[in-house]
Amino acid sequence: MQIQSKLPNVGTTIFTVMSGLANQVGAINLSQGFPNFNPSERLQRLVTEHMARGANQYAPMPGILPLRERIAEKIERMYGANVNPDTEITVTAGGTQAIFCAIAAFVRPGDEVILLEPCYDSYRPSVETVGGVVVTCPLSAPDYRVDWEEVKKRITPRTRMLCINTPQNPTGTILRAADMLKINEILRGTDVILMSDEVYEHLIFDGEKHASVLGYPELYARSLAIYSFGKTYHNTGWKTGYCVGPPELTREFRKVHQFNVFSANHPMQAAFADFMADPAEYLGLPEFYQQKRDVFLKAMANTRFRPLHCAGTYFQLFDYSTISNEPDLDFCKRLTTEFGVAAIPVSSFFSDLKDEKVIRLCFAKTEDLLEQAGEKLSKC
């Protein structure tokens, strides 16, 4: 039997490769983006309590109503937007599933999707799986600033979607109010849908505010905004997130969602609905992760790595050009095997594998592990 791959250029993800190598040699794994600490004990208890009460069968397709109501309350509190939990919020099996459904619901064969690269690695294969055409707008180190005039030049009658991510993985950069206004300006009068990946909405530092599409009514009218409980509550393995969009877009999103996973984990949803009653649990995240960023930067101060500014996420980029001229993938593998710290090469987030001698390290770790990593990398 002959099989023609829909993704002929896709292999095992770099995250799997580097985590596997870290496990093989016993290195500190700062490559894959997950915490090495547990979520709240109370949140864990709530899950088991809801299991004991019987929340073990399918949840409603859009998600349980108490959770969607909590999400709507949070959105009003943070962004001043009133969204209808019945028609504008869908609970998903994580952020990546929501991203795929958003793309699959609207992108047809031949439609163009603009990606700002480097970007999260699921965007491109999601577009290609449904026959879309990726149009890239490359950003450059050290600031990875978006030139919106360059984005505007890439919009054609075939453009169906623009994908943004703020705070941005892998760069740690953020979009601000001026960026949102510019996006609104260049998309006005078009049929372009905006997919806004905001899974790190609470991981934003130095007094900055998160610029969400939910806070811009005209922009929100064409947007699907994606969020992740895993990033907010330190439980990436629970794979629960949500998508927020106006009713006409949500209807189409749910058509794909219901045949993709139908519904997300029921006991987790019930636990999150209870846990979100206390906003302090997510409002304290900026300070929590900023402290980790600063501890990590201090631990890395005695190394030859040059840090790039991290305004959000739990990823820190480092320029290693004064240490080695090796390709970034080779350098990351050598860091893992020789110095005992696993990293991700930023070239893996570019379609053309653009190599600027920059690596990504995750600081969603306990402080002792971050200090150990800094000590190991000081020998590089």
The enclosing domain of 269 has a CATH number of: 3.40.640.10
Cβ atoms of 189 and 222 within 8 Å: the answer is no
Q: How far apart are CA 232 and CA 229, in angstroms?
A: 5
The per-residue pLDDT for 9 is: 83
In 3-state terms, what secondary structure has residue 379? Answer: coil
In sign, the C-alpha dihedral spanning 127, 160, 215, 170 is positive
Does some domain include residue 6?
A: no
Regions of the chain where pLDDT drops below 70: none
Is residue 117 included in any domain, yes or no? yes
Identify whether residues 350 and 261 lie together within a single domain: no
Contact 370, 299 (CB under 8 A): yes
Domain extent, residue 350, equals 14-32+284-377
3-class DSSP state of 337? helix
pLDDT of 171 reads 98
Q: What is the predicted pLDDT for the residue at 12?
A: 81
In a domain, 1, yes or no: no
Closest CA to 296 of 314, 284, 279: 314
217 in a structural domain: yes
Residue 118 and residue 196: Cα distance in Å, rounded?
Answer: 15
Same domain, 90 and 184: yes
- Domain match, 99 and 194 both: yes
Residues 21 and 96 reside in one and the same domain: no
Same domain, 18 and 162: no
Task: Say what the pLDDT of residue 8 is.
Answer: 87
Q: Which of 106, 127, 96, 99 is nearest to 6 (CA)?
A: 127
Residue positions counted in the chain = 380
One domain, residues 260 and 298: no
How many domains does one find in the chain?
Answer: 2
Which pLDDT does position 146 carry in this prediction?
A: 98
Strands 112-117 and 159-165, bridge-based pairing: parallel
Residue with tokens 């900026």: 286
pLDDT at site 147: 97
**Do 122 and 184 sit in the same domain of this protein?**
yes
pTM value > 0.85: yes
